[in-house]
Amino acid sequence: MKIHEFQAKQVFRKYQVPVPEGEVATTPAKAREVAAKMDRFPVVVKAQIHAGGRGKGGGVQLAHSLEEVETHAKAIIGMNLVTHQTGPEGKTVKQVLVEAGVDIEKELYLSLIPDRETASIMVIASQAGGMDIEEVAANTPEKIIKVYVNPLAGIQPFHCRNVCFGLNLPAPVMKEFTNLLKQLYQLFVENDCSLVEINPLVITRDKRVLALDAKMDFDDNAMFRHKDLLEFRDQDEEDPLDVEASKYNLNYINLDGTVGNMVNGAGLAMAVMDTIKLAGAEPANFLDVGGGATAEMVENGFKIILSDSKVKAILINIFGGILRCDVLAKGVVEAARNTKIHVPLVVRMEGTNVEEGRRILAESGLELFTAADMKSAGEIVAKIAAA
Ligand code: GDP
Ligand code: MN
């Protein structure tokens, strides 16, 4: 689960990670009010969306008067902000963060992320922070340093020293930076983060360290123990079909292709997506209905897949283990009746009670294609989707 910058900064404050003074606003009048309260300029007006690259897309503006704050807020709230992270369709901005402007001496980059390869928490840092960090990573990777923290031992002074020296920090800011890094590590672990990123982390002209930007992503599997963080969820920022699927407890991810598919088991679902691609088509989604899927879950799965207008054909591939093929077949028939399936359906199933399942499908009067194995299922559905 991702959250907005202004929310991440609330969490930062709780952990004494320094951030500029500021407040969120949903109207230009409120933006002006926030700036008036701070009573100093410049003020920065920042679009709040779950994507980076806002600066380059025109979503971060500097204002030198209350009038300018209001003008920028008026322009940004409601705008369709397109950045390299939103995709070409962009994102509608609903709110802005109005923040005290900062006198920047240097922009650094700092992030924490779990590293599966070393089973550690990786600290990534760079002296060349700011809006072009992607280019730094691509062209001058030596300017990016990585320090690995063993989560069992936690962050130690030598980790902090290695990051400080790697960043070539001036001596007067080392202590403050070290405190910030320790606090950030604590925040990362205690909130089950999958990413914390500060870009830029700035050194101000008066040698203070401040997080100008804040990005946080949480491990969805841990959200059950962070009920307080759930309040930060903004469903407008999520894919509408993904939101719908989460209501039904389906493991669904919307993708760009035309072949919808419904599978039981995440591994099998991955294999089915490969099969679809091998046959020359593109999957429209990932959908794992789970090992013990009920007829109702199958029906919900259909609803989600069918509400995606890109879908030209659907492939159902079920291995009947815990989920018996006759139960699945009944679910398919029922769902087909209730949801008025308007695209061709290809079914491949195998396993427990498969004969009974096939009989139910054959006698249902539904128009569907049955495939003997996975490879041919992929080929049939790809051919239909391409027609
Ligand atoms: P992003 O483009 O979505 O990552 O948004 P950021 O929050 O990183 O803002 C983009 C850029 O705006 C930063 O890299 C800074 O250069 C600039 N910026 C943000 N806040 C301030 C500020 O208070 N003062 C000044 N001078 N520049 C700022
Ligand atoms: Mn940034």
Ligand nearest to the CA of 212: 1
What's the pLDDT score for residue 337? 83
For a pocket test of ligand 1, which of 79, 85, 131 has the largest count of ligand atoms closer than 8 A to its C-beta? 131
What's the pLDDT score for residue 342? 85
Phi, psi angle pair for 323, to nearest 5°: -80, 115
User: Tell me: the pLDDT tens digits for 105-156?
Assistant: 999 999 999 999 999 999 999 999 998 898 999 999 999 999 999 999 999 9
Q: Which residues belong to CATH 3.30.1490.20 in the chain?
A: 21-101
Determine whether 185 is an active site residue: no
Kindly give the distance from the C-alpha atom of residue 307 to the centroid of ligand 1, in angstroms, as a whole number: 39
Cα 100 to its chain centre, rounded Å, is: 28
Model confidence at 373: pLDDT above 80: yes
Kindly give the distance from the C-alpha atom of residue 91 to the centroid of ligand 1, in angstroms, as a whole number: 19
| Calpha distance 217→220 (Å, rounded) | 9
Instruction: Give the lowest-confidence range in 65-69, 73-77, 255-259, 316-320.
Output: 316-320
> Quick check: 339 and 299 in contact, CB under 8 A?
yes
Ligand nearest to the CA of 38: 1
What's the pLDDT score for residue 386? 92
Q: Which residues belong to CATH 3.30.470.20 in the chain?
A: 1-20+103-237
pLDDT band of residue 242 (cuts 50, 70, 90) is confident
Identify the residue whose C-alpha is closest to ligand 1 atom 10. Answer: 55
C-alpha dihedral (81, 193, 185, 3), degrees to nearest 10: 30
Q: Which residues belong to CATH 3.40.50.261 in the chain?
A: 239-386
Model confidence at 243: pLDDT above 90: no
Model confidence at 36: pLDDT above 80: yes
Determine whether 148 is an active site residue: no
What's the pLDDT score for residue 125? 97
Model confidence at 92: pLDDT above 80: yes
- Any ligand 1 atom below 6 A from CB of 58: no
Question: Which atom of ligand 1 lies nearest, measured to the CA of 100?
Answer: 23
Could you tell me the two tokens for 257? 């292709």
Instruction: Give the lowest-confidence range in 42-56, 302-316, 328-342.
Output: 328-342
CATH class held by domain 1-20+103-237 = alpha beta
Sorted by sequence, the CB contacts under 8 Å of residue 123 that are 6+ apart come out as: 110, 111, 112, 146, 147, 148, 149, 159, 163, 181, 185
Query: What is the residue-averaged pLDDT of the chain?
Result: 94
Instruction: Give the lowest-confidence range in 19-33, 69-83, 301-315.
Output: 301-315
Average pLDDT over residues 16-39: 97
Q: Which amino acid is at 135?
A: E
Q: How is 141-170 classified by DSSP, letter by letter?
A: GGGEEEEEE-TTT---HHHHHHHHHHTT--
User: Tell me: the pLDDT tens digits for 199-234?
Assistant: 999 999 999 999 999 999 999 999 999 999 999 999
- Any ligand 1 atom below 6 A from CB of 200: yes
What's the pLDDT score for residue 244? 86
User: Tell me: the pLDDT tens digits for 58-87?
Assistant: 999 999 999 999 999 999 999 999 999 998
pLDDT band of residue 294 (cuts 50, 70, 90) is confident
| Calpha distance 91→93 (Å, rounded) | 6
Q: Using a CB cutoff of 8 Å and minimum separation of 24, what contacts does 80-84 make?
A: 81/47, 81/49, 81/51, 81/54, 81/57, 82/57, 83/51, 83/52, 83/53, 83/54, 83/56, 83/57, 83/59, 84/53, 84/56, 84/134
CATH code: domain 21-101 is: 3.30.1490.20
Kindly give the distance from the C-alpha atom of residue 60 to the centroid of ligand 1, in angstroms, as a whole number: 7
**Superfamily covering domain 239-386:** Succinyl-CoA synthetase domains (3.40.50.261)
User: Tell me: the pLDDT tens digits for 159-174?
Assistant: 999 999 999 999 999 9
Using a CB cutoff of 5 Å, list residues around ligand 2, an ion: 199, 213
Model confidence at 282: pLDDT above 90: yes
What's the pLDDT score for residue 83? 95
Question: Tokens 């309260």 map to which residue?
Answer: 37
Average pLDDT over residues 326-349: 87
- Any ligand 1 atom below 6 A from CB of 60: yes
What's the pLDDT score for residue 77? 97
Instruction: Give the lowest-confidence range in 142-151, 242-251, 307-316.
Output: 242-251
Considering the candidates 99, 109, 185, 252, report the single residue annotated as catalytic.
109
